[in-house]
């Protein structure tokens, strides 16, 4: 495989140079390509990823319970997060897909992108060694792991928002029912959430009040995080 | 903690000497002991175990599919297998349990034994390093990994038994309905399985023929394996 501009950019973003470039090609080969595909490497990479992230969380959060560590790990290694990484690498254009997947835009699909990231981890382990693969993974995850609110993401959004306001010594969030729709057995609620930091009031609709409050709180958290940037 | 005979024997069977023996005590402390318990170490050990076994299977079975590797791994790391290991180590008498668990015989319970094995793996990783913990795990699993029929265990018993007979150039297994019980909607079948190697005919009962055949075949395989010993 010649080094196309896409691939050169990909390698730079991965921060790893393969001794055996065929391994990278294998990692990028979705099963729609045929019998020679990335599924075995994906298995290998997934195993390593779970361990490296688990170990790192264990060390970073000496006060976290086993349940918190498990949930944090599952947030970090889930397909959605891996697909985000793939997009940061701009992996899509370098994927090898069968014709059908190519036409249906498979290079944009979360699951295909996530599997390829795991397969690349497996390929690096095979091409080099455990420590090299571990360092790559930790580099890719650096920003997410350093995120000061990482452990907080486990709390429900209402608790998070309340603690944010308390930390800033501001008034607590105010939730109000804006509208109640539908009949008794299929009701839906629109709830607004007002916090002193934001000029706009966020709102959300759900089948019960508590759910709608959580969604409105999550929306407010998103806006507050945008303020910080 | 002084080194009781139980503990000395346990350490010998684990094949590892702790620099910090308190880590072993922590690994042996079930959550029924109180706040200081083995749950975090169990999380750490579970992560390492999944990776080490996954990596080993990947290397040992270059022809296995991703699905086969996953299933093999889950057989090897499941609670039942870990509890078997715990019994080989005679771990039970060294466990630290709360009073309630002690009285109800928690030291014999699969889940408590399995969790302690994972916690010990985590403790070794913390006490030493990745390579040391990996070597311990692979030593403990040596016999199971070397088992010639390991990949075959994934096949259904009828296929396994048929392939055994073919390999030995013997007549194929003969399945016969011995009895059909009950009404149409709640029937049960007794099926016999006859193979040239065995003097006895095995049989099994299930709610459909295929299930009963599989059970009878599994029974025959068990008897054949006993012949070999």
Find the catalytic residue in B115, B118, B127, B219. Answer: B118
Answer whether B5-150 and B157-228 agree in fold.
Answer: no
Domain locations in chain B as residue ranges: 5-150, 157-228
User: B112 exposed, middle or buried (CB, 10 Å; 0-12, 13-18, 19+)?
Assistant: buried
Please enumerate residues of A whose Cβ is less than 8 A from a Cβ of B. 39-40, 42-44, 46-48, 50-51, 54-55, 58, 64-66, 69-70, 73, 122, 125, 130
Closest approach of A53 to chain B, Cα-based (Å): 9
pLDDT at B1: 55
pLDDT at A43: 98
B107 and B41 in contact (C-beta within 8 Å)?
no
pLDDT at B2: 63
Q: Residue A74 CB: number of other CB atoms within 10 A?
A: 12
Please enumerate residues of B whose Cβ is less than 8 A from a Cβ of A. 39-40, 42-44, 46-48, 50-51, 54-55, 58, 64-66, 69-70, 73, 122, 125, 130
Which residues on A lie below 8 Å from B46 (Cβ)? 54
A205 and A219 in contact (C-beta within 8 Å)?
no
pLDDT at B196: 87
Which residues on A lie below 8 Å from B42 (Cβ)? 66
Among candidate residues A49, A54, A52, the one with its CA nearest the CA of residue A82: A49
Assess whether pLDDT exceeds 80 at residue A153: no
Q: Which helix (H) or strand (E) holds B174?
A: strand B174-181
Angle between helices B209-228 and B157-167 (to 10 degrees): 50
Assess whether pLDDT exceeds 90 at residue A25: yes
CATH (residue range A5-150)? 1.10.1520.10
pLDDT at A47: 97
**Does the active-site annotation cover B118?**
yes
Mean pLDDT score across all residues of chain A? 91
CATH architecture, domain B157-228: 2-Layer Sandwich (3.30)
Q: Which residues of chain B, if any, have pLDDT below 50?
A: none
Q: CA Rg, chain A, in Å? A: 22
Provide the ipTM.
Answer: 0.76
pLDDT tens, residue by residue, A102-147: 888 877 889 999 999 999 999 999 999 999 999 999 999 999 999 8
**Three-point CA angle A128, A131, A132, nearest 5°:** 45
* Cβ pair B66:A125 closer than 8 A: no
As a 3-state breakdown, chain B gives helix, strand, coil percent values, each rounded to 5, of 65, 10, 25
**Three-point CA angle B143, B23, B100, nearest 5°:** 90
pLDDT at A151: 81
**What torsion, rounded to 10 degrees, do the Cα atoms B135, B141, B146, B148 define?**
-160
Secondary structure (DSSP) of A93-126: GG-B--HHHHHTTGGG-HHHHHHHHHHHHHHHHH
Q: What DSSP state is assigned to residue A171?
A: P
* Cβ pair A54:B69 closer than 8 A: no
Which residues on B lie below 8 Å from A65 (Cβ)? 39-40
pLDDT tens, residue by residue, B165-179: 988 888 999 999 999
Q: How confident is the model at residue A169 (pLDDT cuts 50, 70, 90)?
A: confident
């Amino acid at each position: 495989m010649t080094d196309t501009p896409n691939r050169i950019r990909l390698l730079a973003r991965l921060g790893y140079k393969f001794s055996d470039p065929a391994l990278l090609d294998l990692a990028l080969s979705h099963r729609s390509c045929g019998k020679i595909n990335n599924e075995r490497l994906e298995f290998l990479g997934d195993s390593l990823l779970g361990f490296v992230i688990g170990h790192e969380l264990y060390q970073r959060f000496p006060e976290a319970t086993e349940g918190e560590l498990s949930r944090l790990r599952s947030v970090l290694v889930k397909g959605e997060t891996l697909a985000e990484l793939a997009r940061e690498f701009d992996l899509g254009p370098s994927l090898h897909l069968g014709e059908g997947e190519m036409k249906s835009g498979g290079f944009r699909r979360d699951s295909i992108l996530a599997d390829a990231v795991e397969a690349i981890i497996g390929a690096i382990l095979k091409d080099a060694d455990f420590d090299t693969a571990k360092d790559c993974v930790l580099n890719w995850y650096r920003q997410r792991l350093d995120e000061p609110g990482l452990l907080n993401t486990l709390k429900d959004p209402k608790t998070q928002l309340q603690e944010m306001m308390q930390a800033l010594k501001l008034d607590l969030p105010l939730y109000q029912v804006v509208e109640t729709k539908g009949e008794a057995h299929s009701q839906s609620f629109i709830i607004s959430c007002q916090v002193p930091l934001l000029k706009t009031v966020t709102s959300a609709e759900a089948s019960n009040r508590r759910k709608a409050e959580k969604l409105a709180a999550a929306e407010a958290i998103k806006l507050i995080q945008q303020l910080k940037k």
